[in-house]
Each structure stands twice: as structure tokens, then as C-alpha cells.
Structure 1
Amino acid sequence: MKKALASGGVIINKNSKKILILKRKNGNWVLPKGHVEDEEKPEDTAIREAKEETGLNVKIIDYVGKTHYFAPATEKHPDEEKTVIWFLMETEEDSIKVEEGIFSDGRFFNFQEAHNFLTFNQEKEILKRAYELYLIKNNEKKLHVLMLTWEYPPRIVGGLSRHVHDLSRHLAKQNVKVSVITCEAPNVPFEEHFDNLSVYRVPEKLIDSYNFISWIYLLNISMIVKAMEINSKESVDIIHSHDWLTTFSAYTLKHSLKKPLISTIHATEYGRNQGIYTDEQRFIHNVEWWLTYESWKVIVCSLNMREEVKKLFNLPEDKIIVLPNGIDIENLKTNLNIEEIKNIYAPNKEKIILFIGRMHPQKGAEYLLRAIPIVLNRIQNVKFIFVGTGPQLGSLIEEAKYLGIIEKTIFTGFIDDNLRNALLHTADICVFPSIYEPFGIVALEAMALGKPVIASRVGGFSEIIEDGKDGILFEPKNVYDLAEKIIFTLTNEEQIQVIKNNAVQKVREKYLWDKIAQETKNLYFNVYQEYLKTDW
């Protein structure tokens, strides 16, 4: 017969959702086992017995001592080894009775009353964290994730913007509270609030900056100010930083709020430039190392990236988590007329071969450009469209003129998502000739729409695409191999149809955001649970 249940100065009743704190006749609050040794302070008892229970020098978190039943000495209760929180999550009892002869005081309080009633910090922390863990495990508390990113729609520089946008929205759908802090953008409000998702845009510069690095510093200062304001209204549980550009705010917030930091490394400075050659590149590389060092876990999008960051930043393997990028098929819709768009860009009914990406050496647009004369030598009824802007755009246009193919090429520069999606729908082939590609979201988007994808055999592409089954790979920088693969795709309709069908099936099975957001949520929970068991 159970008579009393006491442990750690806190008992949480499942049904009443109240906390029971107990006080012995000698005036001491009940600690993990209540065994205060000679000349030992209550705080020391809590620390010592937590160490005995967990093997770690921590504040008592995951369980607050063992359950104790006051019963005849000959009786061994079957639940004796169960923890207080575990027991009370399982029990259906409405209350726990206290044996008056043992305890001078034993009453139920709500959380705030109990927290205020305790007199020393160790027990306050035990109560706070034990109760928080209880709420999370029972889905009564939403994890509050603070996401830091320098780009977010409508500000789109690369794939990072779409990644954070889709991830944050799908986490919010799965009952995670997400607060995104990002850089301001024209014609959008500084704050937007949706169900479980808030987007805060901060001024991109407080004063004029003389270079990109100083601009980033100033942006991070604005982010820190906004983050502290958000945290003062609702405490942040997890900080999630995307790439090196938000490292300064991530580091400051981690240590000031004392909350776990998770980072996602979307690409590395070494990989983008195929080496480190300048002082600025060296600085960025060092900041990337710093971010991964400070992070509880480091997320990467592919096995290839896992090996890259492990080698570049000397990371232990168990610190790196591989979570692929995903797509939301809803984002690929367009309200433009597909046939009209096709007639504008290919008025002579040519086959459209589409490139989408930044005009940067990393994306390899020049290799597709140089493959065009080889393709035209065999097949003339084609049009090549290059979508995107960047430092190479002008030189690529000049090279197209030099190669005599300007009539067969269109350079759109920057276009909005509506037209971009329309061009994806009109394309007959999508080509991605990157020389460095951690993942390649746009390739997934093309595959989801049933477009044959030709991509270089590098990084994430070689993991997403199974050559000849759901896409086609070519040797990076090899314009002859690329040209042959384009010609093959244009002239083997039956085989290509099988590839297209397989591609659609793969994307729907492995790369939709609902699944990836759930895996990210699980990671958040595991990290936060580990954090609650530390003394930080």
C-alpha cells in the first residue's frame, strides 16, 4: 500500500498538473533521497545525490531521485526503482497522500507558487527543469526555436533563403514555435506573424559600412537586439543559426541566454572557392570553424558535406547530423500561362534546355555554354535559357557572342518565383553543371515536376541522382560529356520517360518537407533534453 511519494523537493501530479513539495519535521525540504549527511548543506545533498543517480555532476533533471514508499520494512514495492516523473506520468491517481507522522507539511502548489516558495537556487532549478521536461514530454509545451538567417523571402540570394522559409513553415505546422530573425527587404513589413511562426526583419545597417564583413557585423548587432526583445517576451529554447553570416549573433545569444546552439552549414568557403586564397576567405573559413565549434550539433544536407565539414573543421562524427534539403511542391505553382511562356521563349517550338542558378564559378554555367556548339552541331531545334544573376553574367553573355550562339541563348537575369516556376514547367531538360554543390534543391524541384535532370557528378547531386535511373550524371567540367548527355536525352524519349517517372517517385518518397521537418523537430527535442540534464 503506497503511503507517500517523495523526491527532489518536487512531485508532479499528472491529472491535477500541480507540484507537491514536502517538508520534514526538522525543517529541511525533501531532497533527491532525503539523506542529508552530517554537516552537509541541503544544496550539497542535492548535487551529491544527483551525481549518484546520473553519474554526472549535474542538476537533477531527467529524473528527480527515485520513488520512495513508506511501508513496512519487509515489504519491497514493485515500483521502487521507478522515477518520480516517470511514475506520475503513468499513474492515474488524482492525488498522492502524505503520511502526517513523517512530514510536517505536504501540500500541492501550482508551479509558480512552488517555485517562489523554495529558498535556494539548486532546488529552484530542479523544479523548473523537471517541470519543463514533463511538459515537453506530454506535448503541453511548444519548443521555441530562434532561427537566424541573413536571407529569407522575398530576399533571395541563394538556396538558403528557400530552405529556411520552407523549414520554418513546416516546423510551425508540427507545433514548434519558430521565431525567424533576418535582414530587412523592400516592400515587406518588419514583422509578420502566422500560426506558430513569426518573422522579424531587422535593419540591414545601423550606419554605413565599408565592406561586406563590416556590413555583416552590423546586421548581427541588429539581430542580437531583436533576439533579446523576443526572449524577454517568451523564453527561447533552441538557437538555430544558418551558415557563417549569423555566427556573431548566435555566439552572443548562446552565452548570454545559456541556451543550446544548433547550426546548419549549407556550404563552406573552401568548397565554394575550391580552396582558401585571400584574407577575406580565410576569415570566413575561420568563422565557419568557430560556429561549428560552438554548436551542440551541426546539420549538413548530404553525406558528402558531412565528410567535408568533418575534415575542414576537425569535427567529431557524432556531432554532425545529416538531414537532406526538401521541397514543397506547392511552391512550384505558377499563375502564368505555360503555353504563352513557351511561345515567348521558344517561338519556333524549340526544345528548351534550362539552367537555374547564380552566375558564379561554383555553378558551372560556362560549361553548359561551351557545350552548346557541340549540341547544335547535331540538333538545331533547341533553345538554352540561363536564369539567374551574379558576377559572371556579363562575361557569359560576351562568351555566347564569341561562340556564335547568342541567337540560341537567353539570359534572363534575376526573375521572380512566378516566372521561374513557369520556366521550370516549360523546360524539356534541366541542366545543373556545378563544380561544387552541397545538395541542389533546384534539381529536386525539376525532378518533382517530371523534368529530366542532367547534373555534374559532384557533392549532393551524386547522392540525389542515381545515374540512368532517375537522372543523368556527367563528369564535372567535361563539356563533351555534357553535350553527349544532352543529345542522348533529346533523342531517347522512351528511356527518358522511365527516368522522369522514377524521379517524381523518389522526390515524393524521400524529399518532401513534412518528413524532413519532423526529423529536425526530433533533433531539437533530443538536444533540448540533453541540455536539461546539464548544469548550464
Structure 2
Amino acid sequence: MLSASSKLRVLYLLADRGHDLNLDQGYKVHVWQTIENLKKRNHQVFLLTINQDRNLRDFQNYKTLPHRYLPILHHFFPYTGLINSSRIFFNILHFHRKFHFNLIHERYGLYSLGGIWAAEVLKLPLILEVNAPLIDEKILLGYPLKGAQKVIAELTTRFVFRKCNLILTVSRILKKQLMRKWDIPESKIRVIPNATDREFFNLNGKFTNGDKFIIGYVGTLQPWFGVENLLYSLPVVLKKIPQAELHIVGDGLQRPLLKDLAKRLGIDSHIKFFGYVSFKNIKNYLETFDIAVAPYRPIVTGFYGSSLKIFEYMAAGKPIVASQIGQIGEILQHKYTALMVEPGDTEELAQAIIKLAQNSGLRKFLGQNARKLARKEYTWDKYAEKLENMYYTVLKSHAQN
């Protein structure tokens, strides 16, 4: 019987071929921080993933399975995840003989069954980490699942949700969505929000921008992040704060559209697009911001995410303007850790930015309070501690059953 002080052997499974762990995207940060901080707590973590590049630059103790595209088979059976599931299954059986895992921690992916098959055969508990409602997310991205593809995705998702021991989500909004859509009991779902790297606490905020006032945004340029609202608000801001400059750090599908919008609004000379920046270099840009903005817009599914940028803004001690939406509205407190605005309201967004630009005392007050909250509640080492406690609870329940 494992005790609460036992050191665990965890298989971390990422079976979604769309997640390349050599790219500095949010999912890579989450996976790496989870594994590294579990290791700091003296647990052994083995990573098994579908990744076209066999070598993962920032990981140790892993096995990559390159995606196999078989044209003839895919013509009749175009469900890559199901094909990869059998490879995942047999690899877990193989590595279990060497590592003797205590549990499987799987990051949910469409059509992924290999983890739950192996858990059933090996009689291991499986914790399913769900970061997004992937079937609904396909709709937001503009390529919804249809016909047999949708049916199979729903069947496999329902099967894995039913068979796993516990579901881990990043927000209460997502928890409620899963309960409602998949009829999952509340007791089967736990929530642990994302977190921030302690390196962001080292930013001293003393960078000087001369006469410029830098409004900053960090993140992917996808429609639901609402960066276009930031552009629409900028002409109003410039009337009051003519020295304002918008710095956009990140890349994505909307970048060319945003550049075109900036030209049409006549504000392109006040905007800098820095494009893709690696995670380790983000803090260099964040340090130059006078304020940091998260202008999310409303989405039909409800905002279910746990925004990494919010925690990074907080840890860096930056005064924040953010949309009152989803988990962001639960973590940030209006006029104490941020100025909160109605999602999609460009006038309110502009006025909040102007208010902060004209009040250095308020900027300092909000930034200091946000940093204190991040340091107390939202660091990756605290995330790993919560995850560890959840592991022990699941293992105890699994042993009793």
C-alpha cells in the first residue's frame, strides 16, 4: 500500500499528434512544467507521446512514437487517433515491465484509447487531464467534425470519460461543461488552474521606455483572444495618450488580418508585431510593458480556458486590463488586482487603459497585489503539490476498490 509520502512512478501520456513538444506553445509549457515540478518532488515521470520528431530538446526519460500515415488504410479508416491507440497500448505494456508505473496521467486527445486500454489490462488508475472540450473547439477553429467522424469522436470520448478514475480540468467553467454534456458526476472532476514560472517574479519593472507608454499583449493570435478589440480601442486611447504604443508578442492565424486592420484604422505606426517568441524569451518583452492586456471576447461555448498569460502578467507585477470572463473573472478582482472590462466592449477597454496610463499609483497598486496573489497561489510548484495530493487520493481509492 502506497502512503502519502511514497515516491511515485507516473506515466504521462500525450497521444495527440497535433501537439509538437518541440514548439514553445502553451501546451508544451504546461506539460514540461508539470513533469519538471513532479520530478522536483522526487517522483519519477516517464513521457510517452506521438511526436514526429523523435528527439525532444527539453525533455528527459521519454519515448516518442512518430505518426504513421498509411494512405490506403486512411482512405477507408481516416481516424488517426484510433490507429495510434494500438501503438500506444503496446508501448505502455512494454514500458510498464521496466518502470512498474503506479498510475497513468493522460492529456485528453480525440480518438485516444490506448491509455485506457492499458490501464484496464494493467489494473492501473488513469487520470485524464482535460484542457479543452475538443469536439466543441473544432467548431471555434472553423472545421467542425461531421458525420461518422463526429460520432466516433463522441463515442470514444464518452468511453474514456466513463472508464477513467478521475478527470482533471483547468477551470470550473470547463468542469460544468463536462458535467452537463457528458453526464459526469461532480465528484469525478477536480479543478487545478494553470500557473506561472517563478522566473517571472524576478522582473523588477524598472525598464524605461523613454516617453513611450507601452500597452502589451502576449499570446496566440486566435479569434477568441479578442486582439482586434484592442486595436479598435487604440484610436480612443491615442486621443488622450498620444505617446501610447501597442506591442503584440505572439503569432497566429489572425496576424495578417490584424495588420490589415491596423492600416485601415490608421494606427499601424503605433503598433509593433513581434511575431513568435520562445517561452524563455517572453519575459524580456513583458518587462518592457507599462500595462498588460487580455482583451478576450465572448465565445459561444463560454470561456473554458485557464490563461497562462494572466498568471505571467500577475507574476511580473504588471497592471492588468482584462475581460471579465470565465476563470479570469474568478481569479482577478476588479480594482484590486486588475481593471476588469466587459468582453467585447472596446470603449470600456479604452477607458480602462487611459485610466491606468494617467495614474501611476494605481498601476503600482494593481501590479503589486497581482504579484502577491500569484506568488501565494499560482506557481507551478504549488500546482505539482496539488497534483501530487490528487494522485495519492486516486491511488488510495483505486486500492480500496
Task: Pick the aligned partner of 1:249 from 85, 106, 114.
Answer: 114
Task: Pick the aligned partner of 1:325 from 178, 194, 198.
Answer: 194
Structure 1 residues 271, 152: closer, same or farther in 2, change over 3 A? closer
Q: Which residue of structure 2 lines up, in the alignment, with residue 154 of structure 1?
A: 22
Task: Pick the aligned partner of 1:353 from 215, 218, 235.
Answer: 215
- In structure 1, runs of 5+ residues without a counterpart are 1-132
Larger CA deviation: 238-247 vs 408-417: 238-247
Q: Secondary structure of the equivalent of 1:377?
A: helix
Task: Pick the aligned partner of 2:393 from 517, 526, 529.
Answer: 526
Task: Pick the aligned partner of 1:494 from 355, 358, 361.
Answer: 361
Q: Which residue of structure 1 lines up, in the alignment, with residue 160 of structure 2?
A: 291
2:48–2:62 contact (8 Å) kept in structure 1: yes
Q: Which residue of structure 1 lines up, in the alignment, with residue 173 of structure 2?
A: 304
Offset of 1:204 from its aligned partner? 3.5
> Is 2:32 aligned against 1:170?
no
Offset of 1:506 from its aligned partner? 0.6
Q: Which residue of structure 1 lines up, in the alignment, with residue 290 of structure 2?
A: 428
Offset of 1:176 from its aligned partner? 1.9
Q: Which residue of structure 2 lines up, in the alignment, with residue 258 of structure 1?
A: 123
* Residue deviations 1:38-64 (CA, integer Å, cap 9, x gap): xxxxxxxxxxxxxxxxxxxxxxxxxxx
Q: Secondary structure of the equivalent of 1:519?
A: helix
Distance across 1 between alignment mates of 2:375 and 2:224: 28
Per the normalisation by structure 2, the TM-score is 0.85
Distance across 1 between alignment mates of 2:184 and 2:398: 20
* Residue deviations 1:202-248 (CA, integer Å, cap 9, x gap): 313455678xx745455555544432332121222211111324733
Larger CA deviation: 236-245 vs 502-511: 236-245
Structure 1 residues 399, 483: closer, same or farther in 2, change over 3 A? same
Distance across 2 between alignment mates of 1:450 and 1:288: 40
AA at the equivalent of 2:365 = V
Distance across 2 between alignment mates of 1:416 and 1:494: 32
Offset of 1:282 from its aligned partner? 4.3
Q: Secondary structure of the equivalent of 1:412?
A: strand
Q: Which residue of structure 1 lines up, in the alignment, with residue 224 of structure 2?
A: 362
Q: Which residue of structure 1 lines up, in the alignment, with residue 343 of structure 2?
A: 476
Offset of 1:272 from its aligned partner? 7.4
* Residue deviations 1:472-502 (CA, integer Å, cap 9, x gap): 2111111111111111111111122111111
AA at the equivalent of 1:505 = K
Identity of aligned residues (%): 25
Offset of 1:333 from its aligned partner? 6.8
AA at the equivalent of 2:250 = G
1:192–1:200 contact (8 Å) kept in structure 2: no
* Residue deviations 1:111-161 (CA, integer Å, cap 9, x gap): xxxxxxxxxxxxxxxxxxxxxx0xx2284x53221111244743233x222
Q: Which residue of structure 1 lines up, in the alignment, with residue 307 of structure 2?
A: 440
> Is 2:245 aligned against 1:376?
no
1:430–1:453 contact (8 Å) kept in structure 2: yes
Q: Which residue of structure 2 lines up, in the alignment, with residue 395 of structure 1?
A: 257
Q: Secondary structure of the equivalent of 2:376?
A: helix
Offset of 1:181 from its aligned partner? 1.8
Offset of 1:360 from its aligned partner? 1.2
Distance across 2 between alignment mates of 1:357 and 1:156: 11
AA at the equivalent of 1:447 = M
2:54–2:65 contact (8 Å) kept in structure 1: no
> Is 2:101 aligned against 1:236?
yes
The total of aligned residue pairs comes to 383
Larger CA deviation: 500-509 vs 302-311: 302-311
Distance across 1 between alignment mates of 2:386 and 2:304: 23
* Residue deviations 1:279-312 (CA, integer Å, cap 9, x gap): 3594656654443222211112222222222222
Q: Secondary structure of the equivalent of 1:473?
A: strand
Task: Pick the aligned partner of 2:63 from 200, 204, 218.
Answer: 200
Q: Which residue of structure 1 lines up, in the alignment, with residue 248 of structure 2?
A: 386
- In structure 2, runs of 5+ residues without a counterpart are 298-302
Structure 1 residues 275, 181: closer, same or farther in 2, change over 3 A? closer
Per the normalisation by structure 1, the TM-score is 0.65
> Is 2:183 aligned against 1:314?
yes
Q: Secondary structure of the equivalent of 1:419?
A: helix
Q: Secondary structure of the equivalent of 2:260?
A: helix
Structure 1 residues 286, 458: closer, same or farther in 2, change over 3 A? farther
Distance across 2 between alignment mates of 1:474 and 1:178: 41
Structure 1 residues 217, 465: closer, same or farther in 2, change over 3 A? same
Offset of 1:514 from its aligned partner? 2.2
Q: Secondary structure of the equivalent of 2:113?
A: helix
Distance across 2 between alignment mates of 1:354 and 1:216: 38
**Could you say which structure has the greater relative contact order, defined with CA pairs below 8 angstroms and 6 or more residues apart?**
2
Higher-Rg structure is: 1
Offset of 1:199 from its aligned partner? 2.9
Q: Secondary structure of the equivalent of 2:330?
A: helix
AA at the equivalent of 1:402 = R
AA at the equivalent of 1:320 = I
AA at the equivalent of 2:172 = L
2:341–2:349 contact (8 Å) kept in structure 1: yes
Q: Secondary structure of the equivalent of 1:292?
A: helix
Structure 1 residues 519, 430: closer, same or farther in 2, change over 3 A? same
